[in-house]
């Protein structure tokens, strides 16, 4: 118990005194995961609209496939990305393995199903009469889609925030394709994993507190957004 207590005190000290290592790792984690969530949403929101606004064979199946991948294991994505971007792999010439870019790619793949699925649900939630009204007022298909997207903006935002939450809390991808290089690809989760296994609990606890605080902030924002 004393170990935990001492660790906790030292951890709070590390945070309050803005320990450079803690700030650097937390900053990198946020930077990487925000980038992943934003880049993924730039792809996923239009793609989800495309799926939602078009009728085609196998649409229902596609959507349940997307939902199945909500809980894809991070290590499976880590392995997949590793095989592709390793120098011996098909995208090896890019030299991306063990870099922050590699983590971003992995996290984008991780959050894509969540973003797609939740955005489609968000669009579905919009009252059918709004699209009819827009069309009857002479809106083109594209304009009508914009109207619907605007109606669903809070739910879409919630989806993006959910995606960010999943990205920042994952450890498998960062460890496998980032390599946990100190000062380059070490993020909150990989640092916690390494420091705990080495028995250095203070840094782990400090980073753990930051990670939980981020989760808390996300949840508060998410709650506010969903009350819309």
Partner 1 sequence: MNFNRKIRTKIIIFSTVLLILASLAMGAVGCAKSSEAAPLEPKQRVRVATTTSLYDTGLWGYLEPMFEEQYGVELDVMYAGTGKALEYGQRGDVDIITVHSKAREEAFVAEGYGVERVPFAYNYFLIVGPSGDPAGIKGMLPEEACKKLMDSGSSSFVSRGDDSGTHSKEKSIWQKAGYEYEAVQQAGTWYIEAGTGMGPTLMMASEKQGYTLTDMGTYLAYKGKLELVPIVEKGDILLNVYSAIAVNPESAPKTKIDMASNLIGFLTSPEIQELIGKYGVDEYGMQLFIPCAGAEPTK
d(CA 223, CA 60): 29
Considering beta carbons, is residue 50 or 83 the nearer one to partner 1?
Answer: 83
| Residue 134 beta carbon to partner 1: minimum distance, rounded to whole angstroms | 21
d(CA 84, CA 5): 44
| Residue 41 beta carbon to partner 1: minimum distance, rounded to whole angstroms | 11
| Residue 113 beta carbon to partner 1: minimum distance, rounded to whole angstroms | 22
Residues that bind partner 1 (CB under 8 A): 20, 23-28, 30-32, 34-35, 38, 86-88, 92-93, 95, 97-98, 100, 157, 161, 179-184, 197-199, 217, 221, 224-225, 228
| Residue 95 beta carbon to partner 1: minimum distance, rounded to whole angstroms | 6
Considering beta carbons, is residue 31 or 73 the nearer one to partner 1?
Answer: 31
Considering beta carbons, is residue 51 or 151 the nearer one to partner 1?
Answer: 151
| Residue 219 beta carbon to partner 1: minimum distance, rounded to whole angstroms | 13
For the stretch 183-192, contacts whose Cβ atoms lie closer than 8 Å and that sit 24 or more positions apart, written own/partner, are 183/24, 184/99, 184/100, 185/28, 185/98, 185/99, 185/100, 185/102, 185/103, 186/25, 186/28, 187/25, 187/28, 187/29, 187/32, 187/103, 188/25, 188/26, 188/29, 189/29, 191/25
Considering beta carbons, is residue 146 or 221 the nearer one to partner 1?
Answer: 221
Considering beta carbons, is residue 27 or 141 the nearer one to partner 1?
Answer: 27
């Amino acid at each position: 118990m004393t170990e935990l207590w001492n660790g906790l005190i030292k951890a709070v000290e590390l945070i309050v005194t803005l320990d450079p290592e803690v700030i650097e790792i937390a900053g990198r984690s946020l930077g990487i995961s925000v980038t992943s969530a934003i880049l993924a949403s730039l792809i996923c929101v239009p793609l989800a609209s495309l799926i939602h606004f078009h009728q085609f064979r196998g649409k229902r199946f596609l959507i349940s496939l997307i939902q199945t991948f909500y809980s894809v294991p991070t290590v499976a994505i880590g392995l997949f990305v590793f095989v592709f971007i390793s120098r011996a792999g098909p995208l090896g010439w890019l030299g991306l393995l063990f870099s922050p870019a590699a983590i971003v790619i992995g996290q984008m793949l991780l959050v894509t199903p969540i973003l797609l699925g939740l955005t489609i649900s968000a669009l579905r939630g919009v009252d059918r009469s709004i699209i009819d009204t827009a069309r009857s007022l002479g809106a083109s298909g594209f304009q009508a889609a914009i109207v619907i997207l605007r109606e669903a903006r809070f739910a879409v935002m919630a989806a993006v925030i959910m995606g960010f939450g999943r990205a920042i809390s994952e450890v498998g991808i960062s460890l496998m394709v980032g390599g946990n290089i100190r000062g380059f690809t070490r993020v909150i989760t990989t640092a916690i994993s390494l420091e705990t296994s080495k028995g250095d609990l203070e840094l782990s606890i400090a980073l753990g507190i930051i990670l939980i605080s981020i989760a808390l902030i996300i949840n508060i924002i998410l709650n506010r957004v969903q009350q819309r």
